[in-house]
Amino acid sequence: MHISEGVLSLPVLLTGAALTVGGLYQGLKAIDQEDMPKAAILSAVFFTASLIHVNIGPSSTHLVLSGLIGLIMGWAAFPVIFLGLLLQGILFNFGGLTTLGLNTFNMAAPAVLVSCFFNRLVNGQNPVVASISGFLTGSLPILLSAFLVGVSLTISGEHFLTIAWAVFLSNLPIVFIEGLVCMFCVQFLRKVRPAILRPQIA
């Protein structure tokens, strides 16, 4: 779901960068010393999962796991995802550095938003509701991220409209897979370490 270098207009790039700076500020404030190991592990998981990708025009589709990261880290999903994208851009030229701000926002913002909405349900007493909420927490951020990527491309030029639709549609299978992965992780963590599913969202 990376957007490549040299595709987006300057206003779109600057807007994405500014929004990501705000998200990083909130995310870094939310991380305490005890959260550092979780942040490092999840950033490595994000980095590894995103290495397997399929190029689609100026973008690509792959596992993201942003919903799970948002559920565990809350606002700290911004620095976690930012670090993963930064390493991918430097080491493998995935996405690129000029689009780093917008790519981070497109992936992290939906994760934080959805985790705010479903966190209480995931941690509720009803295991069925928790499982369904876990599925939605995993799937909806991918759907929203694909939508934001499409909007970013469309705003940058009407000639990207077809590609924007292709990016959105190509991510629909990933939506289902991410939902299942997050649901199973929620079920497992509720049994072995439920406290990890309670990030502070402020």
pLDDT tens sequence across 119-129: 999 998 899 99
Question: From the CB of residue 128, how many other CB atoms can be counted at a distance below 10 Å?
Answer: 8
Kindly report the pTM of this predicted structure: 0.87
pLDDT given for residue 111 in this prediction = 94
Residue tagged 């493998």 (tokens): 92
Q: Count the Cβ atoms, other than its own, within 10 Å of residue 168.
A: 19
The answer to whether domain 10-197 has CATH 1.10.630.10 is no
Residue position matching structure tokens 């994760």: 111
pLDDT at 83: 93
Note the Cα 51 to chain centre separation in Å: 14
Secondary structure letter of residue 160 according to DSSP: G
pLDDT at 62 over 90: no
